[in-house]
Amino acid sequence: MKCSKCGFDNPENAIFCEKCDWKLSETYFPEMRLNRGIFSIAALVLGIISVCLVVFDVSSIAAIVLGAIGLMLGGYSFNYSRLANMPNKNAYLACSAIGLIASVAGFMFGFVDVI
Ligand SMILES: [Zn+2]
């Protein structure tokens, strides 16, 4: 059975790859992992921008919009990072969590500013 991660040809009854220990029943998607990790970082960046927009009084509407997007990305990526067995899991979790909190803050402060 060919390993989907490293391509090593394992014996037919093997469960884990003899070369890289990957579980052979699972397909390896390196790009997918990378992309999901980017959501955590995007949530963090959006959250921080959202807060900055309110704090420096640039645009409350933009802060609300970016905060809402950061909120969705943060929630999604936090859940994904928590469940997935990805490298740097805790770093992505932290990014998502901080992004989520910052997005909520930016969204709410922006909203209070408008009304
Ligand atoms: Zn392998």
Is residue 33 predicted with pLDDT exceeding 60? no
Query: Does residue 102 lie within any of the structural domains?
Result: yes
pLDDT band at 82 (very low <50, low <70, confident <90, very high): confident
Domain span including residue 34 = 30-114
Please give the distance, rounded to the nearest whole angstrom, from the Cα atom of residue 28 to the centre of ligand 1: 10
Is residue 27 predicted with pLDDT exceeding 90? no
Going from the C-alpha of 28 to that of each of 16, 68, 71, 93, 111, the distances in angstroms are: 13, 32, 29, 21, 43
Query: Does residue 72 lie within any of the structural domains?
Result: yes
d(CA 112, CA 74): 22
Query: Does residue 6 lie within any of the structural domains?
Result: no
Please give the distance, rounded to the nearest whole angstrom, from the Cα atom of residue 84 to the centre of ligand 1: 19
Query: Does residue 44 lie within any of the structural domains?
Result: yes
Please give the distance, rounded to the nearest whole angstrom, from the Cα atom of residue 25 to the centre of ligand 1: 11
Query: Does residue 55 lie within any of the structural domains?
Result: yes
Is residue 98 predicted with pLDDT exceeding 90? yes
Contact criterion met (CB below 8 Å) for 63 and 110: yes
Written as six digits, the tokens of 14 are 């093997």
Query: Does residue 18 lie within any of the structural domains?
Result: no
Please give the distance, rounded to the nearest whole angstrom, from the Cα atom of residue 42 to the centre of ligand 1: 31
> What mean pLDDT is predicted for residues 9-22?
93
> What mean pLDDT is predicted for residues 21-25?
90
Query: Does residue 56 lie within any of the structural domains?
Result: yes
Query: Does residue 5 lie within any of the structural domains?
Result: no
Contact criterion met (CB below 8 Å) for 44 and 102: yes
How many distinct structural domains can be found in the chain?
Answer: 1
> What mean pLDDT is predicted for residues 39-61?
93
Is residue 65 predicted with pLDDT exceeding 70? yes
